[in-house]
């Protein structure tokens, strides 16, 4: 890693958690000054030339791009997989316009990866105020970065492959947190389930229909007048009882927690915050106020530790009734209006109207209104208005909000995690956040905000989530079925088939739209939706093992094709299919009426998991009837599955390793208690099981083994697919009894037998 500092940074970094002691990067890096700037080399190879200048608001940095290089990452952007030839703003807003022109969005992660066959590097621009990154509009062959400050801090990462870049970046900014097992299951949400009876009815319906589901989500209407940390007495008279009942059904509860605290004397969260001086102020020293759901609100100052403690305490008390997870929303922070400018705008518009200056009034309204809804953006670059608030740091120093705007939600997430530590020490936490800054992966899962029930939004969710993974944030999802507008039956089926592979899998929809639970369209649709959810639960052992891998090394759970096939030029741009882990290729159907689709299969042979057919690499047309999402297993790859249960926390019983062996394929069996942080102390089970072809023999070996935990499965089934060559299956020289099922050869054995083979 190479660190480049321009000027003198005014503030500490919020993203960086552990910086290696020496940041000039060691021997592999070479920086050579030329006339206009510097040339940066890694391992003898030139990465780029860089020039440093100024623009009207601060530092400008530009570096070269080669003609055939692609750009990825940059967090959450409504844009395609390859982010070259675009312009992006970094300023968290409540983005209601999910369109290319609706940039910026909720999250700001100024980290990107430049890649082509044989070359890959990453750049992280660590500045949490306003930033602009142009990936080839102003200059075809350059990236231009404009920082809204007179200083800049850049980290450059290089390595042999993409994963080394993500490893280094997540070492710097924090490893992805390991979620509890239930959070990897299916989540059901709605804005809003309006009463505790309704919540229980929905939960019971899942269990009655045997559709797996791990959590029910409560949106803003559970609160009393949208006051944070309260429950509506009429609609949720007994939250503890409701949650106990849900827990007895093995169902968890996640509640939304916005960030604005209603300004109201006598309301405990407000009073306590005032007492502790925990809120943001204006430059004049008054409380900073902005309108959100409950009306005028004040906002916690998460920059100082007392503000974070205030929040953590409120949250921990609130969670006391048994809440399992916290959903942080509106935390850009989103503010619908700010009181003073709003009043002056209304006065000005009224005056012009009285003077009969209709056009003037209209113009004034149009422009002022855009600036008033300071943090709700209405279009490209517009609406990125400063929030005139002031933070205090722990030494009492003042920091303008605009200097750290994008880090505000990150600090809120830190405080929220502290709340979990108070409420349930030693247990894993679960936070979902809408807004974020670089480093968020160590604290929370993310979702892409208010999309629409629209095929285009469904399709773009793939490059959006893939790029979040390439920005260090593996645990990400989009609202399955779409948030705004009305879903139709086919879209709900296809979106659930896709969502089953989102790392974060939640169905959520807005008030005023048609209901979107799996059963709303009746048969045959509800069976298709249910089957797609069950598919997720079949794949849990594989997906869960990808989460631990992400936690250890920053590897994304879902990956673009080029991550695994960097020599394959085509795989750098395909964005309507993706890999889950290294071995499973998913090609979801993204258009109505389609019952087949073109699939690009990179570089190796692939096994069609539905037909059992072996396919050569290249473009193929595959069948995709309505009840099926095309899935392919890589040659020399493996996936681990189980029978679906109602909850992800139920023991797996038997796991099946599906392998397609060319020469040798390995599967990882991983399990832990799914609840506590004990896995960090070695309490987990992990075995790397490999199957190698030797002539007509398939030879099984356990290559690595960690036995710190008794896994929730006792039987392992090994299913050899696409392998007509198999005559015998051997374990330690002994031939195992096998049977044939369709085209597969199957061997079954107890976990003890398998692991003893390695120990022995």
Q: Residues interacting with ligand GLC, by CB under 6 A?
A: 191, 219-220, 256, 329, 434, 449-450, 483, 508
| Of 330 and 466, CB closest to ligand GLC | 330
Catalytic residue check, 627: no
Question: At closest approach, how far in Å is the CB of 451 from ligand GLC?
Answer: 9
640 Cα distance to chain centroid = 23
Question: At closest approach, how far in Å is the CB of 748 from ligand GLC?
Answer: 45
CA distances from 585 to 64, 530, 558, 606 (A): 34, 21, 10, 9
Maximum C-alpha span of the chain = 96
Burial 206-225 (b: 16+ CB within 10 A, else e): beeeebbbbbbbbbbbbbbe
Question: At closest approach, how far in Å is the CB of 290 from ligand GLC?
Answer: 16
Q: Where do runs of H (alpha helix) occur along 120-238? A: 162-173, 196-208
Question: At closest approach, how far in Å is the CB of 634 from ligand GLC?
Answer: 36
Which one of the listed residues 76, 263, 329, 531 is annotated catalytic? 329
Residues 580, 477, 629, 717, CA torsion sign: positive
**What string of DSSP letters covers 366-383?**
HHHHHHHSTTS--BTTBT
Which one of the listed residues 258, 301, 332, 575 is annotated catalytic? 332
Give the C-alpha separation, 528 to 56, whole Å. Answer: 56
| Of 506 and 645, CB closest to ligand GLC | 506
Return all residues near 508 (Cβ < 8 A) that are at least 6 apart.
187, 189, 190, 191, 217, 447, 479, 480, 481, 483, 516
Helical pair 305-319 and 268-275, crossing angle rounded to 10 deg: 150
Question: At closest approach, how far in Å is the CB of 330 from ligand GLC?
Answer: 6
| Of 483 and 525, CB closest to ligand GLC | 483
Cβ–Cβ contacts within 10 Å for residue 522, how many? 9
Catalytic residue check, 673: no
| Of 292 and 669, CB closest to ligand GLC | 292
Pairing of strands 119-125, 111-116: antiparallel
Pairing of strands 653-660, 713-720: parallel
| Of 154 and 323, CB closest to ligand GLC | 323
674 Cα distance to chain centroid = 19
Residue 177 in tokens: 């947190």
| Of 94 and 636, CB closest to ligand GLC | 94
| Of 326 and 609, CB closest to ligand GLC | 326
Which one of the listed residues 214, 258, 414, 450 is annotated catalytic? 450
Question: At closest approach, how far in Å is the CB of 222 from ligand GLC?
Answer: 10
| Of 86 and 190, CB closest to ligand GLC | 190
Question: At closest approach, how far in Å is the CB of 435 from ligand GLC?
Answer: 10
Give the C-alpha separation, 169 to 551, whole Å. Answer: 13
Question: At closest approach, how far in Å is the CB of 480 from ligand GLC?
Answer: 12
Give the C-alpha separation, 330 to 449, whole Å. Answer: 10
Catalytic residue check, 329: yes
| Of 454 and 692, CB closest to ligand GLC | 454
CA distances from 683 to 19, 311, 671, 680, 706 (A): 28, 32, 9, 7, 9
Question: At closest approach, how far in Å is the CB of 489 from ligand GLC?
Answer: 23
Pairing of strands 325-328, 252-257: parallel
Helical pair 540-553 and 525-538, crossing angle rounded to 10 deg: 50
Burial 636-671 (b: 16+ CB within 10 A, else e): bbbbbbbebbbbbbbebeebbbbbbbeeebbbbbbb
Residue 600 in tokens: 């690009």
Kindly compute the dihedral angle of the four CA atoms of residues 164, 168, 173, 177, in this order, to the nearest 10 degrees.
50
| Of 478 and 691, CB closest to ligand GLC | 478
3-state secondary structure of 299: coil
Question: At closest approach, how far in Å is the CB of 328 from ligand GLC?
Answer: 10
Q: Which residues are catalytic?
A: 329, 332, 450
């Amino acid at each position: 890693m190479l660190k480049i500092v321009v000027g003198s940074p005014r503030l500490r970094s919020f993203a960086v958690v552990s910086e290696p002691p020496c940041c000039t990067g060691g021997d592999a890096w070479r920086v050579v000054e030329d006339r206009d700037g510097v040339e940066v080399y890694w391992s003898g190879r030139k990465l780029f030339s860089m020039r440093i200048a100024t623009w009207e608001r601060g530092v400008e940095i530009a570096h070269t791009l080669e003609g055939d290089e692609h750009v990825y990452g940059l967090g959450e952007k409504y844009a395609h997989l390859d982010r070259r030839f675009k312009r992006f703003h970094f300023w968290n807003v409540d983005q209601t316009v999910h369109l290319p022109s609706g940039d910026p969005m909720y999250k700001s992660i100024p980290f990107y990866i430049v890649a082509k066959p044989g070359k890959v590097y990453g750049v992280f621009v660590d500045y949490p105020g306003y930033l602009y990154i142009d990936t080839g509009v102003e200059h075809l062959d350059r990236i231009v970065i404009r920082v809204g400050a007179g200083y800049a801090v850049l980290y450059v990462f290089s390595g042999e492959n993409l994963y080394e870049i993500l490893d280094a970046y997540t070492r710097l900014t924090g490893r992805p947190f390991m979620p509890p097992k239930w959070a990897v299951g299916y989540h059901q949400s709605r804005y809003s389930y309006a009463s505790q009876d309704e919540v229980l009815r929905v939960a019971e319906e899942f269990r009655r229909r045997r559709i797996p589901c791990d959590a029910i989500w409560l949106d803003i209407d559970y609160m009393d007048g949208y006051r944070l940390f309260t429950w509506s007495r009429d609609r949720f008279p007994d939250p503890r009882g409701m949650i106990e009942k849900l827990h007895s059904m093995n169902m968890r509860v996640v509640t939304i927690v916005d960030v604005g605290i209603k300004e109201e004397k006598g309301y405990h969260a407000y009073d306590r915050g005032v007492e502790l001086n925990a809120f943001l102020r204006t430059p004049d020293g008054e409380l900073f106020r902005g309108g959100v759901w409950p009306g005028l609100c004040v906002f916690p100052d998460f920059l100082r530790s007392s503000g974070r403690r205030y929040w953590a305490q409120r949250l921990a008390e609130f969670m006391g009734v048994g809440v399992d997870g916290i959903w942080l929303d509106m935390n850009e922070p989103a503010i619908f209006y700010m009181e003073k400018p709003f009043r002056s705008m209304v006065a000005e518009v009224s005056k012009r109207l009285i003077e009969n200056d209709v056009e003037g009034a209209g113009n004034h309204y149009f422009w002022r209104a855009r600036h008033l809804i300071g943090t709700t953006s209405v279009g490209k670059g517009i609406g990125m208005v400063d929030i005139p608030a002031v933070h205090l740091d722990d030494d009492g120093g003042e920091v303008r909000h605009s200097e750290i705007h994008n880090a505000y939600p990150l600090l809120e997430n830190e405080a929220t995690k502290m709340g979990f530590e108070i409420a349930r020490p030693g247990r894993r936490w679960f936070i979902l956040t809408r807004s974020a800054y670089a480093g968020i992966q160590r604290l929370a899962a993310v979702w892409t905000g208010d999309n629409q029930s629209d095929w285009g939004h469904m399709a773009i969710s793939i490059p959006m989530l893939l790029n979040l993974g390439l920005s260090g944030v593996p645990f990400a999802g989009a609202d399955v079925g779409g948030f705004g507008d009305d879903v139709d039956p086919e879209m709900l089926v296809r979106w659930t088939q896709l969502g089953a592979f989102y790392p974060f899998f939640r169905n959520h929809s807005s008030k005023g739209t048609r209901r979107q639970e799996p059963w709303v369209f009746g048969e045959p649709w509800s069976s298709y939706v249910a089957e797609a959810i069950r598919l997720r639960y079949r794949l849990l052992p594989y997906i869960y093992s990808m989460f631990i891998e992400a936690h250890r090394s920053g590897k994304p759970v879902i990956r673009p094709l080029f991550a695994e096939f960097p020599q394959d030029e085509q795989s750098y741009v395909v964005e309507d299919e993706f890999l889950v882990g290294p071995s499973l290729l998913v090609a979801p159907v993204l258009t109505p009426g389609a019952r087949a689709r073109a699939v690009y299969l990179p570089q190796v042979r692939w096994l069609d998991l539905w037909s059992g057919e072996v396919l050569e690499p290249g473009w193929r047309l595959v069948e995709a009837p309505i009840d099926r999402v095309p899935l392919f297993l890589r040659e020399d790859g493996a996936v681990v599955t189980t029978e679906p249960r109602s909850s992800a926390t139920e023991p797996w019983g038997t796991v099946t390793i599906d392998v397609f062996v060319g020469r040798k394929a390995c599967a990882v069996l991983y399990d832990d208690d799914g609840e506590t942080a004990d896995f960090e102390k070695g309490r987990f089970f992990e075995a790397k099981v490999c199957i190698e072809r030797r002539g007509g023999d398939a030879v099984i070996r356990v290559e690595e083994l960690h036995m710190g935990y008794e896994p929730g499965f006792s039987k392992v089934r090994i299913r050899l697919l696409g392998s007509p060559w198999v005559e015998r299956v051997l374990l330690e020289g002994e031939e195992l009894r096998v049977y044939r099922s369709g085209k597969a050869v199957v061997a079954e054995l107890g976990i003890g037998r398998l692991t003893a083979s390695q120990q022995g």
